[in-house]
Structure 1
């Protein structure tokens, strides 16, 4: 099982047990979140090693130590990981609430989701000079979370897919209450450069669920469910990625040679029936706004697509990669995280796949 981004590189998953060291996380009597999620992560790794030996596993922590949020993301990025899984347990003021939920990066749609993000982000208060490192972000201030309104995540679709697999397995394999796939502003997810999810495996504030989370049987069921979800996700990635990707260096060296693809009808080859175009993705937000120049710093044309209840905003549509590079440079003046994406006919596809197809 090799990563499609770099030939010969194994698929790499980062397991991130939350909290640790002087940060116990949520606590119910003598049951601590940091201990539960570490055991859960170790069991998950055992399942993957036993059944998918070609997958490379990287831990942000495999013992009881404190790892700052920015270092957790750096470990994942430096490992060139293909997937990031952050493990947590929930807590709230209503003991009757139970269930699992899996988060992806985005703006919260409810105060409940915001409170979960605040709780997990508050760990940065234990870090030295956190205000400078996180650019003045205050985890306890609702205003700080406005930054996630225009958050840009190239891997949102893959993250949602993995999250959906996890919740399906929790519900159908582990018989847990399904609280769904949600979005919220988690700093650790914002700083990772790969599909990423944050799992809340249950509520320590519920006595029964706390005992389940603290039991070897409960941890085994939950770890097995996450493993099965990972396996389903990996299969889906391999199925979609049945082409061989070139390295980033090779792709960059080819961009100067890429011209507009052959239009339909001018060639009888299968490639001639595929219309490849490039756009600049500006933002993903939870509300729809009119794609007028006044709403996007004068950029035009801007178009919008709805997917999974979120609205994606794109700038330009070019058949030439050279032309979209010009638009990307223009967009980056106003949208720092803008990136180039591609479409085949009307379906968004990975950029590397488009570069390969447009060169056929």
Structure 2
């Protein structure tokens, strides 16, 4: 079982970069949780551990101490950037990185750029705590710029967040050589019963307005007694209109 450590930067009292109506800490948490969910759902023999799964503050030392104690096979620290002019994506390894860290960075960087597109600011080396103090191959990713309007607009789009998540998942899977689960092994995704399907939105709204439904749990299954209530409402409505 491979152990993957995903570190969502900042959190709690430390929002990270803030501009254009978004905060770095929120974006990176969403991405980190998405990486965990997709890696574990789509690939065999992998466990994803998170520095944080909620909006809490952690010192840098706490993050690397926990990841080292867990014996993770790799660490990826997720961030968004600021102060970079035209924006774009870049990744970092330690200045004296191991060959495996360099390999991980290469796999990640290429996979993320392949999904995300846009400006490629390159694969870089820097003396950053998260990649220096981690005992396993480690990379820090800077996923677009909070303070560049065009990048911030992209970060507000679900499709772009998904592209960032997918790029990380693809890069990690390629580095570790993970085997994708067969369709039979993948869990069936559960729909939110409180949200109507796109194709049924208009009809659901119309029938709710007419009183046939109470507007609750549009995606839930119907019991025979609930169906009886619905039929009764329809009959009474038709009777009153005649």
Q: Is TM more than 0.5 here?
A: yes
Structure 2 partner of 1:100: 89
Structure 1 partner of 2:12: 21
Q: Is the 8 A contact 1:100 1:201 kept in 2?
A: yes
Structure 2 partner of 1:322: none
- Considering Cα pairs closer than 8 Å and 6+ residues apart, tell me whether 1 or 2 has the greater RCO: 2
**Pairwise mapping of residues 12-51 of structure 1 onto structure 2 (< 5 A)?**
12-51=3-42
Post-superposition offset of 1:170: 2.4
Structure 1 partner of 2:62: 71
**Residue among 170, 173, 183 paired with 2:115:** 173
Q: Is the 8 A contact 1:28 1:204 kept in 2?
A: yes
CA RMSD in angstroms comes to 1.4
The alignment status of 1:198 with 2:140, answered yes or no, reads yes
Q: Is the 8 A contact 2:81 2:145 kept in 1?
A: yes
The alignment status of 1:218 with 2:160, answered yes or no, reads yes
Cα deviation code 1:103-158 (max 9, x no counterpart): 0011xxxxxxxxxxxxxxxxxxxxxxxxxxxxxxxxxxxxxxxxxxxxx55xx211
Specify every segment of 5 or more residues in structure 1 that has no aligned partner in the other structure, as ranges: 1-9, 107-151, 237-360
**Pairwise mapping of residues 243-254 of structure 1 onto structure 2 (< 5 A)?**
none
Q: Is the 8 A contact 2:112 2:166 kept in 1?
A: no
**Residue among 181, 185, 192 paired with 2:127:** 185
Q: Secondary structure of 2:30's match?
A: helix
Q: Is the 8 A contact 1:102 1:167 kept in 2?
A: yes
TM-score by length of 2: 0.70
Distance across 2 between alignment mates of 1:33 and 1:49: 24
Q: Secondary structure of 1:173's match?
A: helix
Structure 1 partner of 2:53: 62
Q: Identify, as 1 or 2, the structure richer in helix.
A: 2
Distance across 1 between alignment mates of 2:10 and 2:176: 27
Distance across 2 between alignment mates of 1:93 and 1:29: 15
Distance across 2 between alignment mates of 1:92 and 1:174: 20
Distance across 1 between alignment mates of 2:91 and 2:108: 7
Q: Which runs of 4+ in 1 moved over 3 A?
A: none
Larger radius of gyration: 2
TM-score by length of 1: 0.48
Distance across 1 between alignment mates of 2:153 and 2:79: 15
Q: Is the 8 A contact 2:36 2:49 kept in 1?
A: no
The alignment status of 1:207 with 2:149, answered yes or no, reads yes
Post-superposition offset of 1:171: 2.5
Post-superposition offset of 1:92: 0.5
Q: Is the 8 A contact 2:20 2:147 kept in 1?
A: no
Post-superposition offset of 1:168: 1.1
Q: Secondary structure of 1:66's match?
A: coil
Deviates more, 1:212-221 or 1:12-21: 212-221
Post-superposition offset of 1:177: 2.1
Structure 2 partner of 1:130: none
